Amino acid sequence: MAARIGITMGDPSGIGPEIIVATLAQMDPATRSVSAVVGNVDLLKRADRLLGTGLKFAEGLEAKAGEAPVVHVPTRDQDRIRDGQISAAGGEAAYRYVEKAVELALEKRIAVIVTAPLNKAAMHSAGHHFDGHTELLAHLTGAKQSFMLLAGEKLNAVHVTTHTSLRNAAEKPTMERVLATIRAGDRHFKEIGYERPRIAVAGLNPHCGEGGIFGREEIDRIEPAVEAAKREGIDVKGPISGDTVFYRALKGEFDLVVAQYHDQGHIPTKLIAFDETVNVSLGLPIRRTAVDHGTAFDIAWKGKASNANMKAAIAYARKMADRVAG
């Protein structure tokens, strides 16, 4: 049976191989056979021995029920990769796994990519200067813009800006970018089954600027974007002060909050459900989910890593794949 999702292994020095193997082992045989890993089969076998899961691997996208399919991606300088250490070899391997998964997704051979964590410093040392997975995926797919959604059972936030300084985050939320973020969130939630998503847009300044006293970003950029989205038929409200909008969403008033910058959206979603919150890329010509944590080099290859977030990322990817198939 051919795989429906592709799971990139992440930086081999980190916890990616362990959390993937642990999650595969907990799947029923039919689900496991359609969940391919894009990475290094030898390292997966090593993780299998470490955890004692007794998995059987099949190279390629096709696998029998119960087997774990693996698209093996050889990379240079494998012998220079060390457990729990930043290395150019590890960064190169992580990059190549993502590159191969994107190729498979663009060819429609897999429906959704799930990414295990990579290390930005390792990837930079390998010559790939991207701020994270989202920017890398936009580059590989040729997408002009992309958006980060943190999705959970209780709270969802899509971000206008992500990996940039707080100073830059105050400048980047243009009217066009805010509107594009609202549209991307509305489109995605409709794709996963919401007939009319209820969207709230957070303000940038304290108390939404208090009518311009604390800044005019809400007046000049955010309010015009919200009004434009309303004219398009999107169910959106805002701007709403950042210190209340997430509480209101958590209580059920909204399905999605548009956060203006990284920490505005990340802090409440991770506080509410750190292990279950999934990172989803919007605006790309492919579908992708990810764990919302790092490589955890300090506990890598010790059999201590929790796979709870990987399970959540794969479950969300399967939901997206089901909508594609339907």
The model's pLDDT over 102-146, given as tens digits with 9 standing for 90+, comes to 999 999 999 999 999 999 999 999 999 988 888 899 999 999 989
Rg (CA), the chain: 20
Q: Which two tokens stand for residue 166?
A: 């707080």
Sheet-wide strand order for 199-202: 57-59, 68-72, 35-39, 5-8, 112-115, 288-290, 278-282, 147-151, 157-159, 256-259, 199-202, 236-240
Ordered by where they begin, the domains of the chain are 1-143+287-326 (3.40.718.10), 145-283 (3.40.718.10)
- In whole numbers, what is the pLDDT of the chain averaged over residues? 94
User: Closest Cα to residue 96, out of 8, 4, 6?
Assistant: 8
What is the mean predicted confidence (pLDDT) over 2-24?
A: 94
- Distance in angstroms between the alpha carbons of the first and the last residue of the chain: 18
pTM passes above 0.85: yes
Whether pLDDT at 1 is above 60: no
Whether pLDDT at 322 is above 90: no
Over residues 189-207, the pLDDT tens digits come to: 999 999 999 999 999 999 9
Over residues 26-56, the pLDDT tens digits come to: 999 999 999 999 999 999 999 999 999 999 9
Q: Confidence class of residue 275 from pLDDT cuts 50, 70 and 90?
A: confident
* DSSP SS3 for 287: coil
